Amino acid sequence: MPETSARPIRVLQLIGGCAVGGLEKVALNLVTRLSGDHEFRVVAFDETDGPMAARFAAAGAPVTLLRRRRGVDLLYPFRLARFIRREKIDVVHAHNRTAFFYGGLAAALAGGKPLVFTAHDRTFPQVPSKPVQRFLGRRTRYAVAVSELGRRDLLSVDGFEPERVVIVRNGVDAEELRGRPLRDEARRALGLPEDAEVVGTIARLHPEKNLAMLVRAFAAVLRERPRALLVIAGDGPDRAALDDAARAAGLGPRAVFLGRRDDVGRVLAAMDVFVLTSDREGLPLAVLEAMGAERPVVATDVGAVGEVVRDGENGWLVPAGDERAVAAALSRTLSDPRRAEAMGRRGGEIFRSAYTLERMASGYGRVYKEAMEGVV
């Protein structure tokens, strides 16, 4: 081991910004759970004015804005390398492919610091040239996939050597979910009718989540089940458009927008069924949270969702963009509360077996340690 073994491993978390998203939550959870044996520095290359900035600061790792220029900023790796040397970083952890490009080059310029790359999803663009991709691939100690699908992509699409690819599945805070209030208490706290059949989601209000389709699908559910209520928690650029879509669908008070919430356990406790209608995903934390809260899940079969939502076992999988299939699955779940409850319990079992925050943090702790030791 190098001399740095005498002190905590100092890890740079490189992220794009501080919006509330799965990638940012994973980085924050690592800061929170691994501090002590590790010290963290967080750098954002696009912005720091999102809600997650305060959470990083509260966890003892304020976010440094080291802004890149638009397009491919070839000077940025040099600036980032200076930061790495100044802060005595031991391991560079790049989240998604833009961070991989800049963080990988900076790690090499800073004297060959170990590089860990997590591919959360394939939404972000590839490294801009194949020679650079090959160079970074050879320099990467570990490429981390969050799912089996992600591992296959890293091997077949990105061309990483198998011994450099590991799976560390996403995890969420089980303690928070176990401490959730009872359903009726949660509904009273949120101002929701206690006798409603609540269909809910927690998401960034962003086009890729396809929540406009959910609004239309819910309108069909409401025609069959007049006690149904749609609850959407989250904020984002689609908020105004979704308000318009709900009005156009005639949902009126049967659609409730809660805005951004920090009390995820309470919001989930109020639901009868959780729904995800995304067109693209990696391994979404919101689905794991719903499973941890023992809620049945209706979800589009995208990304690695099918690895955690087992059709007919702990929820229902539907094709992306299929409005009728979403409506039918929601109605089926609401019409059979006993089966829905059993599905929720099964989801909780699956969650506890592989997707807790403790498992994820332990996996990354091993990755950082072995990256420092040069084990690949």
Segment 59-80 shows an average pLDDT of 95
Instruction: Identify the pLDDT of residue 127.
Output: 64
Segment 90-107 shows an average pLDDT of 96
Instruction: Identify the pLDDT of residue 175.
Output: 77
Same fold for the domain at 3-171+357-373 and the one at 174-354?
Answer: yes
Instruction: Identify the pLDDT of residue 124.
Output: 57
Please give the Cα distance from 113 to 309 (Å, whole number).
38
Question: In the structure, what pLDDT confidence band is assigned to residue 3 with cuts at 50, 70 and 90?
Answer: very low
Q: What is the DSSP letter of 8?
A: P
Whether CATH 3.40.47.10 fits 3-171+357-373: no
Torsion of Cα atoms, 75 then 76 then 81 then 82, to 10°: 80
Q: Which residue has the higher pLDDT, 157 or 180?
A: 157
User: Under CATH, which architecture does the 174-354 domain have?
Assistant: 3-Layer(aba) Sandwich (3.40)
Q: Is the pLDDT of residue 4 over 50?
A: no
Sign of CA dihedral 93, 94, 100, 105: negative
Segment 164-190 shows an average pLDDT of 88
Q: What is the mean pLDDT of the chain?
A: 93
Please give the Cα distance from 266 to 187 (Å, whole number).
8
Instruction: Identify the pLDDT of residue 190.
Output: 96
Q: Is the pLDDT of residue 2 over 70?
A: no
Instruction: Identify the pLDDT of residue 126.
Output: 59
Q: Is the pLDDT of residue 5 over 80?
A: no
Continuous segment of H or E residues that includes residue 115 = strand 115-119
The tens digit of pLDDT for each residue in 15-65 reads: 999 999 899 999 999 999 999 899 999 999 999 999 999 999 999 999 999
Q: Is the pLDDT of residue 74 over 80?
A: yes
pTM to 2 decimal places: 0.91
Continuous segment of H or E residues that includes residue 38 = strand 38-44
The domain locations on the chain are 3-171+357-373, 174-354
Instruction: Identify the pLDDT of residue 157.
Output: 86
Instruction: Identify the pLDDT of residue 177.
Output: 76
